[in-house]
Structures are given as C-alpha cells and as structure tokens.
Structure 1
Amino acid sequence: MSRGRRRGHGEDSVYQDGDRWRGAISLGYGPDGRRIRKKVSGRTKAEVLEKLRELRKQLDAGMPAPDGKLTVGAFLDRWLRHNLPGHVADSTLDDYADMVRLHLAPALGRKVLSKLTVADVDALWAAKREQGYSPNSIRIMRAVLRKALGQAEREGLVSRNVAALSTPPRIGQPEGRALTREQAQRLLAELRGHDFDALVTLMLAFGLRRGEALGLHWSALDWEAGTLGVTHAVKRVKVRDGRSGRRTRLVVSELKTRRSRRTLYLTPELVEILREHRARQAKRRMALGAAWQDHGLIFPSRVGTPMDPDNFSHTFSRLCRRAGLGHWHPHELRHSGASLMLAQGTPLHVVSEVLGHSSIAITKDVYGHLVEGEKRAAARSMTEALLGP
C-alpha cells in the first residue's frame, strides 16, 4: 500500500510504494488528450527527489525526457529510415545500412542508448581489431556511429557523443602500388586501338576514379578549348522498390562535392585519342541501329548503356596480364597517375586539384613520400643561399 503525499495535477509527486520510493513528473498532454507522465524510482526519498530535480532541469533546458527503454539498435534503425534519406546519396545510405547491420547493431544494438558509454564503444573497436579488421575499416565504423550519435545528441537523447570521444584507430598510410613510366607505356601500347584505349589513357593522365571515368559525358567535352568536365560517376546501388526482382542497378549520379566536380585540361594528343574513340563509337552505333541505347556517355557499354564498373575491372585486369604486367586493378591507375605527375615535377597542390581530393592534406598524406626529391632540392638551394656554393 502506497504512503506519502500526492500532489495535484501538473505537479511533481513523490510517494512510497512498499520498500521503494517513486516519483512522477508531468510532461503535458499527448495527441489523444491524455496526460503524459515520466516516472522514476529509488530506494530512498532523497534519491527520487534528486532524479526529479535532474529531470526537471533537462525539461527546463528544452531537452526531451530521457528514454530509458530506447535501445541503440532501435535508434540506429530510425536514423537510417527517417533521418538520412534525402540527405545522403543512395549509395552512401546503403553503405551506412550495411555497416549498422553487420557491425554496430550486433554488438551495441541491445544496449540502452542513454546508457551507452565510451568504454562500450572502445571495447567494440578492440574486438574488431582482434577479429582481424583493418584500422581503416574500424575508422569507417567509428565514423558511421559518430554521425548517428550526433543526431541523438542534437535531439537531446544523449548528453554526449561517446563515439566521438572513443579512441580512433591509428592508421598508417600505405604507399600503394603504381605503374612505372615504362609499364604505363607498355600498357597503353597494348591497348592501342582497343575500346579501352582512350579510357585507360585518361585515367592514367588525370588519376581519375573508375566511376568518374565511366561517367564522363560527351556534352562536357569542349573540343576547341580542349577541356573535359568531370561531373558524374557510374555506381551500383541497391534497388529499393522491390518490384523489379533485381537487387542492384547501375546509376549515373552527379558528383557530391565541389572539389570532386572539376575540369580536365586536354593536350592536343589526348583530344586526338578522343576523336578516334568517338569515330569507333559512331561506327558501332550505326551497326547496332535501334539496339543502341544512347546515354551520352564517352565510355559506355557496347550498346550505349552505362558500363558496369566490375566488368570493366575484370577486362582491364585481363588486358594487363596480356601486356605482361600481371594483375592490376583500375584503382591503381589513379595511384599511378598521381605518382607519375609528381615524378614529372607537378606541384602537390596541382596534383590535389587534378585528383579531386577534398583537401591538399589528403594528397599530402597519401603521396607526400613521393616529393622527397623536391625537399632535398629545397634544402640544397637554402644551403647554397646561406653558406655559399
């Protein structure tokens, strides 16, 4: 039987119920007109009064009442369904959903969101390291959780972002593999006259990403000025309507950031290679007639549709082996192009703009080791200026 004084409508109440003390605070009225109350409990009256004071302080500060039942898994699901769509690309949403499903929800999903701690999150990263995941993979997991908890923090569901406070993985920048100048020339000689001739040449010359190269449009090419705009990319995304029976589809989407949308400046030799490529494409289009599906792409499939990036990768690797170079991936053309640009003395900030990096810091982290010669030359120049020849 409960004892203690109950208060009137709209006031906080504290009362004893058996060997427990309980308190309640009014949160107003819901859409159905019924009063909404938040309840707390404790072993002593003082404990309950302190909980009510903290709760009232949060409400007065404009924060929602803490939900002691909302789990991390339920919040992440809501975040993916309601907060992200329309604010990120479909492909990014798919990546986030996979990260939540495969890594975050299984480990943290059952924990109460408001009680999630830095120690919980650090323990997850440690477990992932023990399972053999790379530091970069853990970095991506942390970034996704940090973004999600940032939304929870804005809504007042958590008082701090424990993912942001967790210890980030230490990531060493791998130098990667790059074609030498002689290897690049051998590859282009092997591709001369092939459908991939112009494609691989541009990827090497400008360090283009695979999707960017496949998303180049004829309409973005100015023959007289010798410029080509990089504005779109081909990528594979999940099918969401469920009506087609296919799980994924190819899309040509606009590049997201200002730095990634850029202009390539073509030499007369590159313009001529593109003219030859266009002539070959025109012959194929005439031969196919109505079967040709024109999307305005410079490097489409053999019927004019967007080229599947994975199909391109498989064929490219086969051509590399035929040229006696072994197995190579198209992404290594990007690294090769950047390395060759720096070897020719191209300033680092120019390489960064050509590659479409979001900042020169990224270019420096990945390719800074390749400018050792310039640093030594600078040291020699300063030594001569200060100490004489």
Structure 2
Amino acid sequence: MGQIKKEGSSWYFVAELGTDPITGKRRRKKERGFKTKRDAEKALALVEAAVYKGTYFAPSSMLLKDHINDWFKSKKNSISIQTANTYEAYLKNRIIPYIGHVQLAQLSPVLLQKFVNELKDEGLASSSVKKIYSIVKGALDYAVNMELLPSNPITKIQLPKDSKKEMAVWDVPEIQSFQKAACLDRLYPAFYLAITTGMRRGEILGLRWRDVDLEKEMLYVRQTLSKDGKHSLSEAKTKASIRSIKLSNDTAALLRKHKAGVAKEKLSLGPEYVDNDLIISTSKGTPINPENLKRTFQRLIKEANVPSIRLHDLRHTHATMLLACGVNAKVISERLGHTNIKTTLDIYSHVLPSMQEEAANRIDTLLRKSN
C-alpha cells in the first residue's frame, strides 16, 4: 500500500511499484508538491491503478541527447551512408543543441511544438523542419518501444504548413543559350543529361559506362554518388529510382563523342588514370565533387546570361518541357523515378492549367473534323 504524508505546508505520496525483475529490490515512486491531502491521494490512486493494470511507466531521467545517441547507433545500421550523414548533421546542429538537455520524462507536446515553431521562425524550409520532426519522432518511437516513455509526445504537435515556392525552369531559348555557352566545357555532358533525362545530380555523377547501352540508346540508373563525392551508393533514393531511361538520338550521339574523348584521356595518362568506369569524372577518372559541378554550372549560367536556377531545376525543366509537349504524365513519372504518378502531378501542377486549355481546344478540333 502507498503512503500519504505531509511535508511542511504540502503533501507527498510514496507508491509501491513492485519488485525489480533484475535486481530483486523493491521499487518505489515518491512525488512531492501537492497542495492538499486529497490531491496526493488522487495522484497515488492513478499510479496504483496503472501498476495494477501493468501500464505504469516510471518516468525516465535519461537526457534526450543520451537516448538519441543510443538510438542512432542502432538506426544507422539500417539506413544508407548518405541518409546517416544527413541524420547526424541534423542531430549535431539542430536537435541536440536545442532540446538535447531535456529529460525524456519532461518532453511534452507544448515543448516540442515550441521547438518546431522556432525552427520555422529561423527560416528553415518546411522540408527541413519535417525531416527534423521525423528524426525526433523515430527516436521517441524507439523510447516507447523500450518502455522509457508511455507514449510519443511529438505525434500531437502541428507541423508548419508548406509554403510552395514558384518553380524556376528555363524555356527552350534559354536552354539553347546555355548550351551554346557550355558546349565546350568538360562537364557539359552532365548538364545535357540533366536537361534531356531529368536525372538527379547524384545519379548523373554515379553513372557508369556499363549502365548505358549506346546501341539501344538506353540508360540504367543503378547507383548514385554521395553528396560529399566520396562514396558510390548502390542504395537508391526509392525503389522507383532504380530505373531505365530511353535516350534521345542526340543524347546518345553526345555520349558516344564523350566516350571517345575519355578513351583518349585514358590512353594519354596510362597507369595514372583511375578507371572508375564513370561517365562524368575528372580528367584522371576520379569522381567529380558535387560542389564543383554546382560551381561550374553557376559560372556557365553567367556566361550564357540566362536566369539563375539551381542545378536540380534542370530536372524540373525536363519534366515541364515534356508535360508541355503533351507527354503522358505516367511516362514522365517513370523517367524521373518518382514512386507514383501523384508525386509527379503534385510537383508539376503549375503546368496543368495550360494543358487543360490545350485539351479543350483539341476536342473542338476533333469534333469539327468529324462534321
């Protein structure tokens, strides 16, 4: 039986929690600070009822940062190197400095809502806030499974609403201006592939000659290069990311020409050439650092005097051009490696109004021909 006692002007209770199965010692819970004896009795009754039902959780005094470090040791064995690096950066720079000092037992929806709101107020993108949310949620789900928490408090908070930015893409004359300025640059094939296939940066930099069938004019996305440019990753972003892409005649011709140039470099360097079988590489065959590709792209944009866009926006440019030409959205979804067509339509919904108008006009044209 628990006990109710007075301490100065306030009351406290001591509850019996049973025997520790590991140490064999009696477990007790003591809670102070009740203004009346009745308040202490009510609180004690709730604890005793939970103990009887087997649903009682002893509040953990473990700090969130210590729990997260334990969780991450297990988690990183089940995710890719690139994802693990992303998690680690968020933990180090955002999560632990802000809430790492809080005890697990002290975490509440109010505290976590404030944390998320502060991230958004600092100007973090909604996608980054959602990523941080998912990391903390994963760590706290693990705490629930390990019986350190009765429930996950972060599931009760509200995430900030997405603020969709207007997508920046080039039109055909702008693409042609860029091509004219960039065509002699060593890294031009990377930018050309982005425009004509919609591949992601890491996919282009990880592409090997063995992944391309120039005779059938087909390309197979099987690996990516990590963001730091140090690792080839066989893990795809999603299952749909491992895919085949049909090349245009001009793209296949450009790759044939590029392959001949690479062969000359191999011959001239001899044993000094590091053959990683990469299509896009340095003159010595080593992987291109993604940041160097980005810097080259920005330099060529200035030389071409076209609107500044991100390298990733070449992927959007590819998709937008195909949609505007009336290519089936399912085909575009497969080329981009989206998990489903809904993702494609959600991202490129800005193109759909003009397509609706074109579709309506085509109906008129068809019906007039039939009369």
Q: Same fold (TM over 0.5)?
A: yes
For 1:167 and 1:274, locate their aligned partners in 2 and report how far apart those are by CA, in whole Å: 49
- From 175, 181, 202, the counterpart of 1:211: 202
- Alpha-carbon deviations, 1:44-76, whole Å to 9, x = none? 5664353133134236xxx8x434312322221
CA–CA distance in 2 between the matches of 1:353 and 1:175? 24
Q: 1:1-389, aligned counterparts within 5 Å? A: 14-15=2-3, 19=7, 20-30=12-22, 34-42=23-31, 44=40, 47-58=43-54, 65-81=57-73, 83-237=74-228, 250-254=230-234, 255-325=236-306, 327-379=308-360
For 1:125 and 1:348, how far apart are their aligned partners in 2? Answer: 35
2:275/2:285 contact within 8 Å kept = yes
Q: Is the 8 A contact 2:64 2:102 kept in 1?
A: yes
Aligned to 1:246: none
- Report the Cα distance in structure 1 between the residues aligned to 2:76 and 2:169, rounded to whole angstroms: 38
Letter in 2 for 1:315: T
The alignment partner of 2:268 has SS state of helix
Kept in 1, the 8 Å contact 2:117–2:160? The answer is: no
RMSD between aligned residues:
2.7
Which amino acid is 2:54 matched to?
Answer: Q
TM-score (norm 1): 0.83
| Structure 2, gaps ≥5 residues long | 33-39
Report the residue type matching 1:321 in the other structure.
Answer: K
Q: Distance in 2 between matches of 1:175 and 1:326?
A: 14
Deviation at 1:145, TM superposition (A): 1.6
How far does residue 258 in structure 1 lie from its aligned partner after superposition? 1.3
Distance 1:183 1:136 in 2: 29
**Structure 1 alignment gaps of length 5 or more:** 1-12, 238-248
Residue 23 of structure 1 aligns to a residue in which SS? Answer: strand
Look up the SS of the partner of 1:259 in the other structure. Answer: helix
Q: Please, which moves more after superposition, 339-348 or 131-140?
A: 131-140
Q: Give the aligned length.
A: 357
Task: Tell me the residue number matched to 1:242.
Answer: none
**C-alpha distance in 2 between matches for 1:196 and 1:46:** 72
* Counterpart code for 1:69: S
Q: Which moved more, 1:18-27 or 1:358-367?
A: 18-27
Give the secondary-structure state (helix, strand or coil) at the position aligned to 2:233. strand
Task: Decide whether the 8 Å contact of 2:20 with 2:27 is kept in 1.
Answer: no
Return the alpha-carbon distance in structure 2 between the equivalents of residues 108 and 332 of structure 1.
35
> How many Å apart are 1:158 and its aligned residue?
2.5
- 1:57 partner letter: K
Q: Distance in 1 between matches of 2:43 and 2:361?
A: 72
Contact 2:206–2:225 at 8 Å: present in 1 too? yes
- Structure 2-normalised TM-score? 0.86
Given the superposition, is the C-alpha separation of residues 104 and 38 from structure 1 closer, same or farther in structure 2, using an over 3 Å criterion? Answer: farther
Q: What is the percent sequence identity of the aligned residues?
A: 23
Q: Is the 8 A contact 1:210 1:309 kept in 2?
A: yes
Instruction: State the distance in 1 between where 2:342 and 2:349 align.
Output: 9
1:326–1:146 CA distance, 2 compared to 1 (3 A): same
Q: Are the structure 2 counterparts of residues 383 and 72 from structure 1 closer, same or farther at C-alpha, using a change threshold of 3 Å?
A: farther
